[in-house]
């Protein structure tokens, strides 16, 4: 004959066979929301990492944008000291003394010389002003000289050839030049020949962009000028 089962034992059997209601509810909670919470945590971690990477990139970009940019150039000259080529390089040495003297010599020849070719005269005047310091004493002196000695008007009746005889560096920024100016008629007949002497004060300011590089590749600027005829 079967032995009756007590009510408490029957509840225990049912609870063991069906599972604890608490455990069942927790299991359902984990299955339903646990994955969502875990994915949310992963997304938050990914978002924080992305923000950190973006912040690092912004710092790098700002650092590059605010970093001083110095462009260095090298300039080649021919046997007469005239500029034949110029371009940017990674490293460059200071302007050579011979290059400075050649540039000043060319400037004096273009400043004091006169040609009957209007285009060549215009190019010479443009180059003269490209090598004059802004708001300098040299700028005033050159402007006054051109007003008193109209180069295009003179070129319609005569030419002036300038030959630099010597150039002496008094200091790194001051040069003394001796030159001869020969005036001729348009058919080449000599009119006069005079000797001149002048002292030229210069400053060096290397070019920082292509526009300045094309007109003044060495960055040499005349700041002050004194000249007189040698008697």
Q: 109 and 48 share a domain?
A: no
Is there a single domain that holds both residue 61 and residue 99? no
Mean pLDDT calculated for residue range 192-196: 96
Task: Tell me: do 59 and 111 sit in the same domain.
Answer: no
CA–CA separation, 108 vs 104, rounded Å?
6
At residue 17 the predicted structure's pLDDT band, cuts being 50, 70 and 90, is very low
The average pLDDT across 1-18 equals 46
Domain that holds residue 48: 20-66
Condensed to tens digits (0 to 9), the pLDDT of residues 96-146 reads 889 999 999 999 999 999 999 999 999 999 999 999 998 999 999 999 999
Residues 112 and 36 in one domain: no
Q: Do residues 186 and 202 touch, judged by C-beta distance below 8 A? A: no
Are 109 and 81 in contact by the 8 Å Cβ rule? The answer is no
pLDDT tens-digit series, residues 65-77: 666 556 555 566 6
Residues 106 and 218 occupy one common structural domain: yes
Q: Looking at the 3D structure of the chain, how many domains does it have?
A: 2
In a domain, residue 199? The reply is yes
DSSP 6: P
The model's confidence at residue 6, banded by pLDDT at 50, 70 and 90, is very low
Query: Is 173 domain-assigned?
Result: yes
User: What's the pTM value of the predicted model, to 2 decimals?
Assistant: 0.61
37 plus 126 within the same structural domain: no
Bigger pLDDT: 165 vs 29: 165
Q: What pLDDT sits at residue 123?
A: 94
User: What's the pLDDT band for 14 if we cut at 50, 70, 90?
Assistant: very low
Cβ(177)–Cβ(197) below 8 Å: yes
Task: Copy the structure tokens of residue 211.
Answer: 């526009």
Q: How many CA atoms lie within 13 A of 77 on its CB side?
A: 17
Give burial (CB, 10 Å; 0-12/13-18/19+) of 137: middle
């Amino acid at each position: 004959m079967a032995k009756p089962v007590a009510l408490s034992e029957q509840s225990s059997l049912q609870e063991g066979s069906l599972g604890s209601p608490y455990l069942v509810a927790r299991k359902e909670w984990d299955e339903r929301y646990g994955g969502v919470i875990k994915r949310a945590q992963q997304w938050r971690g990914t978002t924080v990492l992305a923000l950190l990477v973006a912040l690092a990139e912004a710092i790098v970009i700002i650092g590059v944008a605010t970093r001083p940019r110095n462009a260095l150039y090298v300039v080649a000259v021919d046997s007469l000291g005239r500029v034949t080529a110029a371009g940017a390089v990674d490293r460059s040495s200071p302007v050579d003394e011979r290059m400075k003297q050649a540039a000043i010599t060319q400037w004096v020849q273009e400043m004091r010389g006169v040609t009957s070719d209007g285009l060549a005269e215009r190019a010479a005047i443009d180059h003269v002003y490209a090598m004059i310091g802004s708001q300098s004493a040299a700028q005033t002196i050159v402007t006054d000289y051109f007003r008193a000695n109209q180069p295009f008007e003179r070129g319609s009746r005569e030419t002036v050839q300038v030959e630099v005889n010597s150039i002496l560096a008094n200091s790194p920024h001051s040069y003394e030049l001796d030159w001869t100016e020969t005036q001729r008629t348009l058919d080449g007949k000599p009119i006069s020949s005079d000797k001149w002497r002048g002292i030229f004060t210069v400053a060096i300011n290397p070019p920082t962009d292509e526009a300045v590089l094309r007109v003044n590749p060495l960055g040499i600027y005349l700041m002050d000028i004194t000249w007189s005829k040698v008697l």
